[in-house]
Structure 1
Amino acid sequence: MEAIITIVGFLGAGKTTLLKYLIDDFSDKGWHPFIILNDYENANMDTQQFTKQIEQKTIKALSGSCICCSGIMELRNIVNRIPERKKGITLIEANGTFDACSLIEFLGVGLNDRFLPPIQISVVDVKNWQQRGKHNELESNQIQVSSLIVLTHLENIPLDRKSKVIQELKVLNPTSKIIEIDDIEVELLPKLLPSTNTAKEFEHLKAHWASCSTDLPNLPHRDSIYKICASLPKSILRVKGCTKIGHDENYTYFERKPDGEIHIRPFNGIPVTGAKLLTIGPGSTPFILKKAIKVSLV
């Protein structure tokens, strides 16, 4: 039977980093992963990050729907249509604001018999854990029904901070194992059992956030990226963009994470959606995005 592993965690916690690690490790050990990526806006752009690791036909994008409610039927249909493979495994990366408890509750209903009950892995950013202000409840909700919790962003973190976070995680989910990414043994992941922890009731609509995208023109220089990110309000917790910079013929990808850190890197190929600016969080509107772009071109 084929295991289904859902990867959850708050925006910017490191879900994609973990997914890339799992793809490589599973593939090296003879497994055949199938990947499903969910995001509010243009998940197709995200799929291109993985095409150097895995064939395009084994990656499916699921954009614009909440996979823990309105999108659950589409997600089930995608899973049920996955081709059978020897040593197959399905990895689902959920968007960073969804209701993890609802997803794990409803995903297993209506799946083909060849799939095992879905299990959940939570990614926890130790540096920013429970520093999300009004979004702390959502972040803590996401780890309550996880079978495994993976700690990230441990660089230069004091030992007492790490210990405090681990203790808080154990209170919220006493049945989950807690490890660092380097300690993952992928051969053991398909053998994980669904969590038996009882989740605290959560108002599902708190997981429904505004999102928006708009076309992004070529930018004159890298400083334009920082101008865009600085112009967008802090209420917008995730910013993503992909376009050409200056005279470079290749595309550049950038993102602003919830803690304000900006990361810029080369993009793999040509974005199938065209050059775009995407945002997630309160205040995401076409007017705000276009205004930020205009500022960046001055």
Structure 2
Amino acid sequence: MSEKTDLYLLTGFLGAGKTTLLTNILNDLSGESVGVIMNEFGKIGIDGDIIKKEGMELVEINRGSIFCSCLKLNFAQAMVELADKNLKYLFVESSGLADPSNIGDILDGVKSVKGDVYEYKGAICLVDGVNFLEQVKDLETVERQIKHCHLAVISKVDLIDEETLTKIIEVIRKINNKVNIETTAFGKLNYKFLEEDLMKNQWVENEDTTNTPETKPKTLTLTFEGEVNKDELSRFINEIKKDSYRIKGFFKLEDGWNQVDVVGNIIDYKPTDKNEEISQLVIISKIGPQIIRPIFNAWNSIFKEEMKLR
């Protein structure tokens, strides 16, 4: 019998830095056989393009949370299929809106179909050092991610002061007093957790996830053929970001293709060698379909060319 695959779940709210951390982990494990299941809420996958590399097994599951009844069978099936790839590690990056409370039930389902092929090594939760204290007040998902994790990693610590860091740790401890807590800047982390028993921090039973078809947020994809000015695109994003959980994608600007990433009030542009005909932004709405009209109004007030929204 072949050795079990070490399975890690990567959680954390939208924009916490999961993909950056995962990219660094994958680079440092380049000599190992590694698989990734990438889960995004949008109809198109953005992060899969960022982490994709030769020889890596990548499965993308979009249009919702892998813990919701609408997608959990897809998630289980992906794990069943990847079990035949003789992987050393499988990393599952869940959507930032995912509530992983029922992960145990899903793993039990995989085991009943495929046998004892995975060693669940635990959930690593990225905690957004800049935005967490506000997020946790209003979003049950953020609290659930902390409650059901085995290692909490506070990201962006280079952007916060010691007092804020202390408050974040206090809040994490109130939700989960067993979890180990690490910090990171720029997605760099000591990978000693790969050798540790994170599951010793397991203290809470599985429970029903809050991810349901009824609670699924509205996700829109904006597409545009052509090139825009960065300042004008920033003006457009500033008009709609207050009504958005997250905005991300790839856009052709005057200096070439850029990866666009919006978290809270911060708009980040990174040049990329992506070279396609169509620019795309995925917008996850806080206000449901009511965001459609503000998006069109903001676009038409700034740009002459037409975009498409679906």
Superposition CA RMSD, Å: 2.7
Relative to structure 1, the CA distance from residue 190 to residue 217 in structure 2 (aligned partners, 3 Å threshold; closer, same or farther) is: farther
Shift of 1:287: 4.0
Relative to structure 1, the CA distance from residue 201 to residue 241 in structure 2 (aligned partners, 3 Å threshold; closer, same or farther) is: closer
TM-score, normalisation: structure 1: 0.86
State the percentage of identical aligned residues.
19
Shift of 1:226: 0.5
Q: Is the 8 A contact 1:25 1:186 kept in 2?
A: no
Q: Is the 8 A contact 1:26 1:186 kept in 2?
A: no
The corresponding residue for 1:61 is: 60
2:249 is aligned with 1:241: yes
Greater percentage in strand: 2
The corresponding residue for 1:275 is: 279
Shift of 1:136: 3.5
Shift of 1:21: 1.5
Relative to structure 1, the CA distance from residue 136 to residue 220 in structure 2 (aligned partners, 3 Å threshold; closer, same or farther) is: closer
Q: Which runs of 5+ in 2 are unaligned?
A: 305-310
**Given residue 77 of structure 1, which amino acid in structure 2 is its aligned partner?**
Q
Q: Is the 8 A contact 2:7 2:122 kept in 1?
A: yes
The corresponding residue for 1:40 is: 41
Question: Alignment partner of 1:253: what SS?
Answer: strand
Shift of 1:187: 6.2
Shift of 1:95: 0.8
**Given residue 190 of structure 2, which amino acid in structure 1 is its aligned partner?**
I
Counterpart CA distance in 1 for 2:24 and 2:79 is 21
Shift of 1:252: 1.8
Q: Is the 8 A contact 2:42 2:62 kept in 1?
A: yes
Post-superposition CA distance 1:140-193 (Å, at most 9, x none)? 111111111111111142222212211221221122111123452256257432
The corresponding residue for 1:95 is: 95
The corresponding residue for 2:308 is: none
Shift of 1:271: 5.3
Shift of 1:264: 0.6
2:27 is aligned with 1:24: yes
Relative to structure 1, the CA distance from residue 150 to residue 42 in structure 2 (aligned partners, 3 Å threshold; closer, same or farther) is: same
Q: 1:262 aligns with which of 267, 279, 287?
A: 267
**Given residue 68 of structure 1, which amino acid in structure 2 is its aligned partner?**
F
Relative to structure 1, the CA distance from residue 31 to residue 115 in structure 2 (aligned partners, 3 Å threshold; closer, same or farther) is: same
**Given residue 282 of structure 1, which amino acid in structure 2 is its aligned partner?**
K
Relative to structure 1, the CA distance from residue 289 to residue 186 in structure 2 (aligned partners, 3 Å threshold; closer, same or farther) is: farther
Q: Is the 8 A contact 1:277 1:289 kept in 2?
A: no
Relative to structure 1, the CA distance from residue 86 to residue 192 in structure 2 (aligned partners, 3 Å threshold; closer, same or farther) is: farther
Relative to structure 1, the CA distance from residue 283 to residue 270 in structure 2 (aligned partners, 3 Å threshold; closer, same or farther) is: farther
Matches within 5 A, 1:140-289: 140-181=143-184, 182-186=188-192, 188=194, 191-193=197-199, 195-198=201-204, 203-205=210-212, 208-246=216-254, 250-257=256-263, 259-270=264-275, 274-283=278-287, 285=289, 286-289=292-295
The corresponding residue for 1:9 is: 12
Question: Alignment partner of 2:130: what SS?
Answer: coil
Counterpart CA distance in 2 for 1:263 and 1:79 is 33
**Alignment size in residue pairs:** 289
